[in-house]
Amino acid sequence: MVPSGCYESCRIFNISLQMTYKIGSAIIRFPLPGATMFPEEKLQCEVAIMRYISDQTSIPVPFIYHWGSKESCPLEFGPFIIMEYIEHDSSMYDLLNTLGCPDDARGRLNPDIDEDNLGALYRELASVLLELSKPSFSQIGFLGQIDDFTWEVTSRPPSGVNELIRVGSLPQSSLPSYETIFDSMSSYFEFLAELHIAHRKNQRNDAIESADDCRRKFVARHLFRKLAHERKLTERWEPFDKGSFKIWCDDFRPANVLVNDAKKIVGIMDLEFTYAAPIEFTYASP
């Protein structure tokens, strides 16, 4: 089957092609070279979480037709996903954004938006957040699909490490191994504290503005580590220190929410950094 048309869109972490056939459309997506530090890991975890959400919740996500590693791609462009193209009218970002706001500018909530429409859109988003808060896991990390009906936490959580390495000069040797997962909220925060200190040590000189700025950032990270070691950061959530842990997507935002002309959600996109995280992340206000 030869595509009758396609277009390319380049997002922060991915390159996507929509292929239009006589009987429908599909999306093939590759991690963007240079933007994704762990393309195989990212894609494998994204496939697992999309299939989990599709199977275990009512949240609409694209159906995955096929996926594979760089070696299984005919021209070895990189690991890839071929997924369903979801028909939609616009994104929730477009409905909320100020009219005429330039594409390259940060979105601003339209001050003239109808209150009823705003409430309806927020309720749609809230319904997805509530649905994500239902599943529970006993460990913190990325999900892996064990068999057709079983998913478990199998690998390290993202923890923002992609950007720390890509633009923050953090060496990959500072990261835990791929198989590292966390059994408690307190141990995860202690890991994050050490990661932030390692990041500070490896940042380039132009990451600070002055000696005072450097001192403030140094002190802040060591205070964070002190609070983490003393479990001051988690004492409010002590009953949940060892679980349960909830699905958390730190990239869940209006631009990744597809809606139809009735302003109903028809698809959620870009779930690659979604993982089982401390319950505090889910229960904090958006």
pLDDT, position 265: 96
* Percentage of residues of the chain with pLDDT beyond 90: 58
pLDDT, position 125: 93
| Distances from the Cα of 230 to the Cα of 100, 193, 227, 269, angstroms | 50, 12, 5, 38
pTM of the model: 0.88
Q: Are 88 and 259 in contact (CB under 8 A)?
A: yes
Centroid of chain to Cα 47: 12
Q: Is 111 helix (H, G, I), strand (E, B) or coil?
A: coil
Q: What digits encode the pLDDT tens for the residues 254-264?
A: 999 999 999 99
Centroid of chain to Cα 225: 25
Q: CA-CA-CA-CA torsion for 209, 212, 217, 220, nearest 10 degrees?
A: -160
Beta-carbon-side half-sphere exposure of residue 42 (alpha carbons within 13 Å): 26
pLDDT, position 11: 58
Q: Are 201 and 217 in contact (CB under 8 A)?
A: no
CATH topology assigned to domain 5-183+242-283: Transferase(Phosphotransferase); domain 1 (1.10.510)
